[in-house]
């Protein structure tokens, strides 16, 4: 298999002064194939940044292996590090006194690319990240969002085998975040980059990643294709369309029995979205509705989105 990144049983405990060590990641294993874009998801403190920092060689794992393009990173760190570029959480790792173009030339240069050879790619990145107007302004004068885009472009220009992105859209305004997402999507669609990306923004993940690895409390809980997860959850996500409005008593009963159920209404219709585990739960809802004298117009499967799936998994609903 053409795996370019693989972590095996990666474990990291942070030591603390006068306190028990924190088990940040506990035997995390997953693999990323060449040109695959994989999302690393998990709630705050799950261990995403720790995983990425270990792979990027910024912190040392307590145990486990990290394979980058056939090289064990902890045994041959220098050779392995030539194969990764990382953009870390909130870190705009660029040279403030250099212009965007100079930054890009610099980062291409340290990777050993001749400036003449990467000029076209640099032009492309400047275009892609909409930095043309600021091409000759020093980086410290750029807005935060532009600096973030430049930092990402600098990671890209190195053209390493693997690209690690930790929360690349964090703290950006809606438009900049959209632009960055668009740029990443284009990169991903060209299928020429292997990317591991962490994000809390499910739109980013759903847009860019084919596969997701979900970690919770330092452990991998899901490793699957996004399309498979959506298929899996579609089977349990129901939408009921009802005639008229629900009486309050029925609404309370439903919510008491199914706390996660969502109700919405227009003038003449009520919609119930519910995640039902099996047939018996479906019948329970039907019974409640019938007992409340409600007329059901239709029952259908709802198209779940990654956000709902993620929450359901993290809340431990999926057995």
Ligand X SMILES: Nc1ncnc2c1ncn2[C@@H]1O[C@H](COP(=O)(O)OP(=O)(O)OP(=O)(O)O)[C@@H](O)[C@H]1O
Closer Cβ to ligand X, 45 or 244, answer by number: 45
Applying CB under 6 A, among 10, 28, 30, 42 the residue interacting with ligand X is 42
Q: Minimum CB separation from ligand X for residue 137, in Å?
A: 31
Does residue 136 belong to the site contacting ligand X (CB under 6 A)?
no
79 within 8 A of 223, measured Cβ to Cβ: no
Query: According to the binding rule CB under 5 A, does residue 49 interact with Mg ion?
Result: yes
Q: If binding means CB under 6 A, how many residues of this protein chain bind ligand X? A: 13
Nearest distance, CB of residue 238 and ligand X, angstroms: 31
Stretch that binds ligand X, among 44-52, 103-111, 114-122, 305-313 (CB under 6 A): 44-52
Select from 46-54, 99-107, 116-124, 188-196 the region that touches Mg ion (CB under 5 A).
46-54
Helices (H), the chain: 48-55, 77-81, 100-110, 115-128, 144-157, 174-190, 202-208, 226-234, 248-257, 279-291, 306-314
50 binds, among ligand X, Mg ion, none (CB under 5 to 8 A by kind): ligand X
* Least distance CB 49 / ligand X (angstroms): 3
Phi and psi torsions of 98, nearest 5°? -90, 155
Q: How far is the CB of 261 from ligand X (least distance, A)?
A: 28
The closest of 116, 201, 186, 200 to 156, measured between CA atoms, is: 186
**Interface with ligand X includes 44 (CB under 6 A)?**
yes
Length of the chain: 319
Interacting span for Mg ion (CB under 5 A) from 40-48, 93-101, 242-250, 271-279: 40-48
Residue 168 interacting with ligand X (CB under 6 A): no
CB under 6 A: which stretch of 14-22, 124-132, 228-236, 258-266 binds ligand X? 14-22
Q: Considering beta carbons, is residue 142 or 220 the nearer one to Mg ion?
A: 220
Q: Name the CA dihedral angle for 80, 85, 86, 91, rounded to a multiple of 10 degrees.
A: 130
In the complex, the smallest distance separating the C-beta of residue 14 from ligand X, rounded to whole angstroms, is 3
The minimum distance between CB 89 and ligand X, in angstroms, equals: 6
- Collapse the DSSP code of 171 into the 3-class scheme (helix H, G, I; strand E, B; otherwise coil) and give the result: coil
User: Does position 19 bind ligand X by CB under 6 A?
Assistant: no
* 46 near ligand X (CB under 6 A): yes
Position 47 contacts ligand X (CB under 6 A): yes
φ/ψ (deg, to 5) at 108:
-65, -40
Of the candidate spans 47-55, 104-112, 252-260, 293-301, the one that interacts with ligand X by CB under 6 A turns out to be: 47-55
| Strand 211-216, strand 37-41: pairing | parallel
- In a 3-state reduction of DSSP, which class is residue 156? helix
CA–CA dist 72, 49 (Å, integer):
20
In whole angstroms, how far apart are CA 221 and each of 127, 217, 311? Answer: 39, 9, 12
Please list, in sequence order, all residues whose beta carbon lies within 8 angstroms of the beta carbon of residue 213, skipping any fewer than 6 positions away. Answer: 30, 38, 39, 40, 41, 220, 222, 223
Residue list 67-106, contact with ligand X (CB under 6 A): 89
Residue numbers of the site for ligand X (CB under 6 A)?
A: 14, 16, 22, 24, 42, 44-50, 89
């Amino acid at each position: 298999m053409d795996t370019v990144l693989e972590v095996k049983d990666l474990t990291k405990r942070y030591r603390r002064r006068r306190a028990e060590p924190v088990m940040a990641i506990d035997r995390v294993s997953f693999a990323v194939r060449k040109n695959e874009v994989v999302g690393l998801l998990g709630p705050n403190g799950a261990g995403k940044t720790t995983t990425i920092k270990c792979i990027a060689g910024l912190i040392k794992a307590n145990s486990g292996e990290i394979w980058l393009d056939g090289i064990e990173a902890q045994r041959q760190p220098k050779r392995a590090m030539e194969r990764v570029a990382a953009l870390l959480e909130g870190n705009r790792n660029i040279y403030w006194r250099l212009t965007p173009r100079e930054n890009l030339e610099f980062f291409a240069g340290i990777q050993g690319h001749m400036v003449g050879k990467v000029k076209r790619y640099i032009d492309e990145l400047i275009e892609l990240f909409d930095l043309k107007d600021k091409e000759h302004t020093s980086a410290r004068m750029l807005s935060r969002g532009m600096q973030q885009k430049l930092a990402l472009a600098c990671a890209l220009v190195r053209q390493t085998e693997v690209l690690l992105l930790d929360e690349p859209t964090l703290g950006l305004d809606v438009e900049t975040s959209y632009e960055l997402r668009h740029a990443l999507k284009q990169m991903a669609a060209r299928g020429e980059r292997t990317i591991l990306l962490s994000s809390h923004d499910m739109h980013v993940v759903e847009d860019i990643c084919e596969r997701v690895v979900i970690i919770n409390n330092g452990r991998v809980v899901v490793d699957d294709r996004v399309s498979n997860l959506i298929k899996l959850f579609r089977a349990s996500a129901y939408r009921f369309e009802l005639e008229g409005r629900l009486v309050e008593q029925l609404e309370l009963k439903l919510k008491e029995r199914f706390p996660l159920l969502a109700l919405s209404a227009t003038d003449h219709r009520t919609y119930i979205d519910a995640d039902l585990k099996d047939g018996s739960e479906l019948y329970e809802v039907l019974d409640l509705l019938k007992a409340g004298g409600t007329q059901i117009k239709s029952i259908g499967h709802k198209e779940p989105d990654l956000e709902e799936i993620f929450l359901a998994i993290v809340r431990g609903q999926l057995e």
